[in-house]
Amino acid sequence: MTPLLETDVVVAGGGVTGVAVLRDLALRGVNAVLVERFDLGTGTSGRWHGLLHSGARYAVRDQESARECIEENTVLRRIAPHTVEDVGGLFVLLPGDDEAYAGKFVEGCQASGIPTEELSAAEARRREPLLAPDVKLAFAVPDGGIDSWALLRSMAADAEARGSRVLVRHPVVGVERDGDRITAVRVHDQVAGEDRLIGCQWVVNAAGAWAGEIGRMAGVPIRMIAGKGVMVVMASRYVRGVVNACRKPADGDIIVPQHQVAILGTTSVQVDSPDDIAVPPADVDRMIDMCAQMVPSIASGRVLRAFAGSRPLYQPESEDGGGGDTREVSRTFTVLDHAGRDGLGNMLSIVGGKLTTCRQMAEALVDRLAERMGVTEPCRTATEVLPGADHGPHRLAAPLAGVERDGAYGELICECELVTRGQVRAAIADGLTELEDLRRKLRLGYGPCQAAFCAWRAAGMLSEGSGGDHLGGLERFLEERWRGQRATIWGDQARQALLNHAIYRGIFDLRGAGRPDEAAAAGLPRAEPVGGG
Amino acid sequence: MRADVVVVGAGPAALATAVRLAEAGRQVRVIARGNGFTHWGAGAVDALGRLGGERVERPLEAVGRLPEDHPYRLAGEAALRDGLDWFARFAAAAGLAHAGDPDRNRDQVTALGVLRPTCLLPEPAAGPLSGRVAVVNFEGFRDFSPALCAAGLRGAGVDAVPASVPLPPWDHARYFTAVELARAIDDDDFRRRLAPGLARAAAGADVVVVPAVLGVRGGHAPWADLQRLVGTPLVEAATAPPSIPGLRLFAAYRRRLDALGVGWQFGFPAVGVERDGDRVTAVRSEGASREVVTHCQELVLATGGVAGHGIEANRDGTLAEVVAGLPVEGFPDRTAFLGERFLGEHPLGAAGVRVDAELRPMNASGSPVHANVRCVGGLLAGHDPTVEGSREGVALATATRTAELLAPTPTPAT
C-alpha cells in the first residue's frame, strides 16, 4: 500500500462540522487533510430543512441548545451573510394548542437570550397572509434560512486557500495503530480503486451520524443514535418567513421557505442505521396534513419531492438508551477526547449538535485539540468572514434582479431556478462535465418542472464543449432525479411526471437501454441540497 | 346550449372525432379545457412504434399481437387503417401533406439526434438523412443544440456536423420562443434574408437538419420556400414542446371545424354531466361568469389520460375520471402509480376508462354505464401512448370508429 501523504491532522467527515473544523485548523495555521466518503454535504448536511435556528424550538426543553443556537445565529449572519435568508420566523398558536405552553415558550426564550415579539392574530396574518384564519396569536423570533451547500463551499474554499486539503470520494476504511496512538488513516481512493495511507499526528472524527463507524475502526465505542427525519418539498414558498407550531416539538410542525420552495418538517424516529433514508408515504401525508393546519393551502399544493436525513444524535454511555421518539435526546454537542476516555492518545470526536452550531462545535473541538498539540493560536472563525460574504445576505429576488439587469431572459436554461446560459457556461469552463454536478452547483433542475426543459438544454451545452452526445449522462441525470419521488407524486405532479415521460421517452425516444447507471453501480447516494430535494 | 354531439377535449382524438362527425352530418360542439397533445407531442403520427420494448416495423401487422382490450383491438384494424388514410387526405387538403405508409414505420429525427419510429411524417420532417448532413441552429434559439443533435446522429450512423446561422435583425421581445421564431419565418422577407446564411452553413451538405420552427401560420409553405431558396433539402427535427408542427395541425383542424360550423368553447373545462336514467342529457362546463349547460344526444369524452387531465390521480392511490365520474381502476396506494425507472414504464401512463366494443365505458361487471357516452384517445385503458408510440393512431382509430357508430341514421325514403 502506498502512502498518499503526510499531515498533522486528518479530519474524517465532509459535512458542515468537518469542514468547519478544517477551516478552524487552517486559521490557526495547522496542516490538515479532510477525507469524505462521497462528496461534501452528502450526509445530514445536505438532508435537512435549512433552518437557521434562533434557538426558540429548544427554548422550553433544552435551553443549553437554545443558547448555542442564538449565539451562532448571530455569528453566521456576520461571517456568512451570503448563505442566509434573513426572513425571520413565527411560532403560531392554533385552536387546541396549550396556552400554558406559550407562556413557558416566552419564558424559555427570555432565559436563553432569544428576542421574541408577541403578535396579535391580525398582525400575524398581515405578516403571513396564508396563515390559518383561526390562528390565535404568534411570536416573532429571529429564525432564518441557511443554504448549507453555500456554507460548505465557502468554508472549504477558505480552508483550501489557506493550505488545507479536501479529499472527496476517499472513505476511511481503517486506521494504523502503534500502541495507544493512530499513526495513519487508511482511505480508499475510489477513483484509483485502491487503498492509501495518510500518515498523521492527530485524528478528528467529525463523521456526524456515522461517528460510531469511525469509532469502531479506531477501536473506541461511540454510541450514536440514528434519528431519521422526513421532509417534504413543496413547489412554492407559501410563507415569507419560517413558520413553527407553538407546541411541544412534533411531526409536521415547521415550514421553512428556501429559495423557490418550502420545506415541511419533520419526523423524528430512531432507526437502526444512519443510511436508512427511506421515505414512508404515510410520513409525507402526515407532514402535509399537520403543516396544513398552520397554512391551509398546503393541503392542495404541489409536492416536488420528499427526502430523509439522519440526525447525529449522541447518547452518553451513562444515559439510558432510547426508544422511539428521538426528540428527547439533547441537541447539544459533545467533544470526546479518547485519550482519557478510551486510552487512545491522539483522536478526538465531535458528536451531536446541529447545522446552526457547526462553527461553535468546531471551535470547541479545535480548542481542545490545540491545547493537546501545544498550538497557542486562538480561534478566529467567529470574526473572519467567509469568501463570498461581500455579496450580502441572500435574497430570493436577487437572481431575478440579475436576469432583469442583464436582459438575460433569452439566456435562461432553467426557468424554474433562473439559471442562465452564462452561469452554465462558466460552470462548464470550471471543469464540470456532468449534469448532476451542474445541478448541485447551480440548482439546475430543482423546480416544479423537474428538469423537463433544462436537462436537455444543458446537455446541449455540455455537448458544445465536448462534441460528445451526452445521452448517457442525460439518462443518468433523469434517473437520479426520479429516485425518491414516487412517494410524492399525485395530482398535478403526476401530470408533470407523465409529461416529462412523454418528452424524454416519447419524443426523444430515450429508454436507458445500453447505458448503464454508473452512479447506481458505484453505490453512490443522492445528494440533497437544501431546498432541493 | 344544445348540440347533437358534444365532444370534450382538444387533443388529437377530440379534433379528429369532431371533424369526422361533422363531416358525417352531425351537429357537433367542442368543449375544451385547453390544448392537448397536438402541442405536446413529436409532431408526427405514431401508430405503433414499439411493442414489448422492441421497435415495430409494420404497425398494422403488429396490431394482432396486442391484448384484446387494447383500443386498436376494440376499434378494429380497419378503423386504424381508415383513420390513417383519412388523416393523410385531410392533412394534404389543409396544406400539411404527410409522407409515409400505414404498413411501414419510418424514422423521425429528434433534437437529441435519436431517430424515433413513427408512421406518418409531415413533409418538412420526412426527408431522408442520406449523405452528409449539416445540423444547423438559428443563433439565440435555446431549444436546439446542433452539437448534441449531430453527436446523437453520428451515434445512429449518420454523417452529421453541427453549424449555426445568425438570424437577420427582427423585431422580437427580450427573448424569443419557438413560436415567435416560427412566426418570423412565416414572413417572406425574413426568409429571404435568412436564406443566404443558411445556404452558407449548408455548403457541402446533402441535407440540412434544423429545429422544427420553419413557419407556423403558413402551413408547410414557408418550409418549401426556404428549401427552394437554400437549394438543399431541409429536414425539421422534433423538439421539446410546444410542437410547431402540432400547432400547424391544430390550426388546420380549427379552420376545418369552423368551415363545418362546429361550435367551440375553449379554455373552460367540462366539470360534470346531467343524466336521465342510463343516458347523459347535458354537459356542465365552466364559463366566463357562470356554469354553462350544453344539452346533447351523444357525448364523446376525449379528455386524455392522467397526462391530458382527463383522469385525476389522487393522493390515496385512487383515480377519478373528471367529467362524468366514470369508473376507473385505481391502485392500492400511490407508490404503485409509477415505475422504478423514469425512462421505463409507468402503470399510471396506461390507466384509463375500460370500454366495450362500441367504446362505451363499462362498469366492473362489463356492462355499459351509459348508453350514449363514448370514450376515445388517451382516456382509454389498455394502452400507454408514450411507451407504445401509439398516441395519434389510437386517436384516429377510435375517432373513426366513433364516427361510424354515431353517423346519422339515414332518413327513410318517403
Q: Do B147 and A460 touch (CB under 8 A)?
A: yes
Give the chain A residue whose CA is nearest to the CA of B309: A495
Question: Are the Cβ atoms of A478 and B342 closer than 8 angstroms?
Answer: yes
CB B316 within 8 A of CB B331: no
Q: Does A504 sit within 8 Å of B343, measured CB to CB?
A: yes
- Mutation site for A-interface testing, chosen from B39, B110, B112 by largest number of A Cβ within 10 Å: B112
Give A407 to chain B, closest Cα distance, Å: 7
Instruction: Calculate how close chain A gets to B36, using CA atoms only, in Å.
Output: 11
* Minimum-distance CB partner of A457 among B143, B238, B343: B143
CA closest to A421 among chain B residues? B142
For helices A471-482 and A435-442, give the axis angle rounded to 10 degrees: 50
| ipTM score above 0.85 | yes
Phi, psi of B194 (to 5 degrees): -80, -35
Can you tell me the distance from the alpha carbon of A405 to that of A395, in angstroms, rounded to the nearest whole number?
Answer: 15
Q: How confident is the model at residue A516 (pLDDT cuts 50, 70, 90)?
A: very low
Closest CA in chain A for residue B389: A506
Percent of chain A having pLDDT more than 90?
A: 73
Q: What is the pLDDT of residue A523?
A: 40
Residues of B in contact with A281 (CB under 8 A): 333-335
State residue A321's pLDDT score. Answer: 46
Nearest to A497 by CA among B53, A300, A487: A487
Task: Determine, for residues A504 and B342 on separate chains, whether the beta-carbon distance falls below 8 Å.
Answer: yes
Among A412, A420, A463, most B C-beta atoms within 10 A, so best to mutate, is A463
- A interface test, pick of B138, B148, B174, B387 with most A CB neighbours within 10 Å: B148
Structure confidence at residue A328 (pLDDT): 63
Cross-chain residue pair B313–A453, CB shorter than 8 Å: no
HSE-up (13 A, CA, CB side) for residue A271: 22
Q: Are B45 and B100 in contact (CB under 8 A)?
A: yes
How far, in Å, CA of A444 to CA of A428, rounded? 13
* Residue B224, C-alpha cell as written in the block: 418549401
Q: Flag if A499 and B114 touch (Cβ within 8 Å).
A: no
C-alpha cell at B33: 379545457
Q: How many residues does chain A have?
A: 533
pLDDT greater at residue B184 or residue A445: B184
Q: Is B155 helix (H, G, I), strand (E, B) or coil?
A: helix
Count chain A–chain B contacts defined by CB atoms under 8 A.
Answer: 168
User: Span A178-205, mean pLDDT?
Assistant: 95
- A76-87 average pLDDT score: 95
> Under an 8 A CB cutoff, do B343 and A507 touch?
no
Contact A411 B175 (CB under 8 A): yes
pLDDT lower than 70: segments of chain B: 173-174, 410-414
Distance CA A112, CA A142 (A): 13
A20 close to A361: Cβ distance less than 8 angstroms: yes
In this predicted structure, what is the pLDDT of residue B125? Answer: 98
Band of pLDDT at residue A330, cut at 50, 70 and 90: confident
**Pairwise CA distance, residues B300 & A394, whole Å:** 53
Q: Provide the 10 A C-beta neighbour count for residue B118.
A: 27
Q: Chain A residue closest to B55 (CA)?
A: A509
The DSSP annotation for B220-256 comes to THHHHHHHHHHTS-EEEEB-SSSPHHHHHHHHHHHHH
* Fold classified for B2-98+248-405: FAD/NAD(P)-binding domain (3.50.50)
The minimum CA-CA distance between B40 and chain A, rounded to whole Å, is 8
Chain B residues lying within 8 Å of A505, measured CB to CB: 343, 386-387
Encode pLDDT of A131-147 as tens digits. Answer: 999 999 999 999 999 99
Q: Is B154 in the A-facing interface, judged by CB distances under 8 Å?
A: yes
B359 touching A (Cβ < 8 Å): no
Give per-residue pLDDT as tens, A89-126.
Answer: 999 999 999 999 999 999 999 999 999 999 999 999 99
The DSSP element (H or E) to which B50 belongs, if any, is: strand B50-51
Q: H or E stretch including B28?
A: strand B28-32
> Which residues of chain A lie closer than 8 angstroms to B312, CB-CB?
491
Residues in A touching B113 (Cβ below 8 Å): 469
Averaged pLDDT for residues A358-382: 97
Strand pairing of B292-301 and B2-8?
parallel
Percent of chain B with pLDDT over 70: 98
Residue A166's H or E segment, with its range, is strand A165-167
CB atoms B343 and A490 under 8 Å: no
Task: Assess whether pLDDT exceeds 50 at residue A317.
Answer: yes
Is B314's CB within 8 Å of A497's CB?
no
CA–centroid distance for B77 within its chain: 19
Task: Write out the three cell numbers for A428.
Answer: 462548464
Compute the nearest-CA separation of A181 from chain B (Å): 48
- The dihedrals phi and psi of B173, each to the nearest 5 degrees, come to -70, -165
Inform me whether the C-beta atom of residue B103 falls under 8 Å from chain A C-beta atoms: no
- Between A469, A498, A501, which is nearest B152 by CB? A469
Distance CA A257, CA A237 (A): 5
| pLDDT computed for residue A324 by the predictor | 55
* CB-closest option in A470, A489, A494 to B148: A470
Q: Which residue has the higher pLDDT, A292 or A42?
A: A292
Task: Report CB contact under 8 Å: A507, B154.
Answer: no
**pLDDT for residue A525 is more than 90:** no
**Partner-chain contact A490 B387, CB within 8 Å:** no
* Chain B residues closer than 8 Å to A467 by CB: 147, 151
- Cβ-nearest to A486 among B37, B112, B338: B338
Q: Which of A410, A474, A482 sits opposite B175 (nearest CB)?
A: A410
Per residue in B59-95, pLDDT (tens digit) is 999 999 999 999 999 999 999 999 999 999 999 999 9
Asked whether B260 and B3 are in contact (CB, 8 A), the reply is no
Burial class (CB in 10 A: 0-12, 13-18, 19+), A134: exposed
pLDDT tens for A269-311 read 999 999 998 899 999 999 999 999 999 999 999 998 899 999 9
For residue A23, the distance in angstroms to the closest alpha carbon of chain B comes to 40
pTM: 0.87
**Residue A495 is nearest to which of B110, B112, B306, comparing CB atoms?**
B306
Alpha carbons B310 and B301: distance in angstroms, whole number = 9
Nearest chain A residue to B305, by CA: A495
| B307 vs A464, A474, A498: nearest CB | A498
DSSP annotation of A502: I
In chain B, which residue's Cα lies nearest the Cα of A517?
B341
> How far B43 CA sits from the closest chain A CA (Å)?
9
Q: Is B152 on the interface with A (CB under 8 A)?
A: yes
B331 and chain A in contact, CB less than 8 A: no
pLDDT in tens, B249-301: 999 999 999 999 999 999 999 999 999 999 999 999 999 899 999 999 999 99
Domain ranges of chain B: 2-98+248-405, 128-232
Q: Does B170 touch chain A (CB under 8 A)?
A: no
Determine the pLDDT at residue A533: 34
**Domain spans of chain A?**
397-521
pLDDT at A527: 40
Q: What is the bridge-based pairing of β-strands B292-301 and B373-375?
A: parallel
Q: Is B9 on the interface with A (CB under 8 A)?
A: no
Average of per-residue pLDDT values in chain A: 90
